Structure 1
Amino acid sequence: MKSAFSRFALVGLVAVLAACDSDSNAPAATASIRVVHGSPDAPAVDVFVDGQPVLTNVAYQAASPYLEVKAGTRNVQVRAAGGGATVIDADLVKQDGDVHTVIATNVLASIEPLVLTDDNSAPAAGNFKLRLVHGAPNVGLVDIYITAPGAAIDALTPDLTNIPFKGVSSYIEAPAGQYRVRITPAGTKTVAIDTGTLDLVAGQIRTGIAVESTGGGAPLSALLLADKN
Structure 2
Amino acid sequence: MKITPWLAAAVALVPVLQACGGGSDSDGDGAVRLVNASSAYGALDLYSSDTLLSSAVAPEGAGSYVTLGAGTYTLKLKRNGSSTTVNSTDRSVAASTSHTLLAYSTADTLRSVFLTDNETAPTSGAAKLRVFNASTEAGALDVYVTASSATLADSSPTVSALGTERFSSYNEISAGSYRVRVTGSGDKTDLRLDVDGISLADQRIGTLVLTTTPGGVLVNSLFIDQKSTVTGVANPSARIRLVAGAGSNGTVAATINGTSLSSGLRSPTVGAYALVPAGSLSGSVTLEGTALTLPTATLAAGSDSTLLVTSAGGAGTATLIADDNKPAITSTNAKLRLVHGVGALGSSITLTADYSAVATDTPVNSASTPAAITAGTDMRLEATTPTATSSLFLDSAVTLVAGKVYTLFMLGDANAPAGVLRRDR
Q: Same fold (TM over 0.5)?
A: yes
SS of the residue 2:88 aligns to: strand
Asked whether the 8 Å contact 1:183–1:192 carries over to 2, the reply is yes
Q: Looking at both structures, which has the greater relative contact order when contacts are Cα pairs under 8 Å and sequence separation is at least 6?
A: 1
Aligned-partner Cα distance in 1 for 2:154–2:227: 34
Task: State the TM-score, normalizing by the size of structure 1.
Answer: 0.79
Match of 1:44? 43
SS of the residue 1:154 aligns to: helix
Post-superposition offset of 1:205: 1.3
| Cα-to-partner distance string for 1:7-58 (whole Å, 9 max, x where unaligned) | xxxxxxxxxx889xxxxxxx85212323222334323321112422122222
| Cα-to-partner distance string for 1:124-163 (whole Å, 9 max, x where unaligned) | 1222111211122321111111112211111323221111
Post-superposition offset of 1:228: 4.9
1:60-139 matches, within 5 Å, as 60-107=59-106, 109-139=108-138
When Rg is computed on C-alpha atoms for both structures, the one with the higher figure is: 2
Aligned-partner Cα distance in 1 for 2:46–2:208: 22
The 1:69/1:157 distance shift into structure 2, 3 A limit, reads same
Asked whether the 8 Å contact 1:37–1:63 carries over to 2, the reply is yes
Match of 2:168? 169
1:1-229 matches, within 5 Å, as 2=5, 29-107=28-106, 109-189=108-188, 190-213=190-213, 217=216, 220-228=219-227
Aligned-partner Cα distance in 2 for 1:59–1:172: 29
- 5+ residue gaps, structure 1: 6-16, 20-26
Amino acid of the residue matched to residue 135 of structure 1? A
| Cα-to-partner distance string for 1:174-202 (whole Å, 9 max, x where unaligned) | 22112222110111112211221222221
Aligned-partner Cα distance in 1 for 2:170–2:31: 19
Post-superposition offset of 1:94: 1.5
Backbone CA RMSD of aligned residues: 2.7
SS of the residue 1:106 aligns to: strand
Aligned-partner Cα distance in 2 for 1:61–1:18: 20
SS of the residue 1:181 aligns to: strand
Post-superposition offset of 1:109: 4.2
Aligned-partner Cα distance in 1 for 2:134–2:5: 15
Amino acid of the residue matched to residue 195 of structure 1? V
Asked whether the 8 Å contact 2:43–2:56 carries over to 1, the reply is yes
The 1:87/1:169 distance shift into structure 2, 3 A limit, reads same
Asked whether the 8 Å contact 2:177–2:197 carries over to 1, the reply is yes
Aligned-partner Cα distance in 1 for 2:134–2:99: 16
Percent same amino acid among aligned pairs? 27
Aligned-partner Cα distance in 2 for 1:102–1:2: 24
Asked whether the 8 Å contact 1:106–1:137 carries over to 2, the reply is no
- 5+ residue gaps, structure 2: 10-21, 229-425
Asked whether the 8 Å contact 2:146–2:155 carries over to 1, the reply is no
Aligned-partner Cα distance in 2 for 1:216–1:82: 29
Post-superposition offset of 1:77: 0.7
Aligned-partner Cα distance in 1 for 2:122–2:23: 28
| Cα-to-partner distance string for 1:98-129 (whole Å, 9 max, x where unaligned) | 33222222337432222223334221122211
Post-superposition offset of 1:66: 3.5
Aligned-partner Cα distance in 2 for 1:162–1:65: 34
Asked whether the 8 Å contact 1:40–1:212 carries over to 2, the reply is no
Q: Which runs of 4+ in 1 moved over 6 A?
A: none
The 1:93/1:41 distance shift into structure 2, 3 A limit, reads same
SS of the residue 1:197 aligns to: strand
The 1:18/1:171 distance shift into structure 2, 3 A limit, reads closer
Amino acid of the residue matched to residue 152 of structure 1? T
SS of the residue 1:188 aligns to: coil
Asked whether the 8 Å contact 1:18–1:70 carries over to 2, the reply is no
Amino acid of the residue matched to residue 36 of structure 1? V
User: Which of the pair is proportionally richer in strand?
Assistant: 2
Out of 42-51 and 132-141, give the one that drifted further: 42-51
Asked whether the 8 Å contact 2:37–2:222 carries over to 1, the reply is no
Asked whether the 8 Å contact 2:211–2:219 carries over to 1, the reply is yes
Amino acid of the residue matched to residue 132 of structure 1? V
Out of 174-183 and 98-107, give the one that drifted further: 98-107
Asked whether the 8 Å contact 1:204–1:228 carries over to 2, the reply is no
Amino acid of the residue matched to residue 84 of structure 1? S
SS of the residue 2:63 aligns to: coil
Task: State the TM-score, normalizing by the size of structure 2.
Answer: 0.45
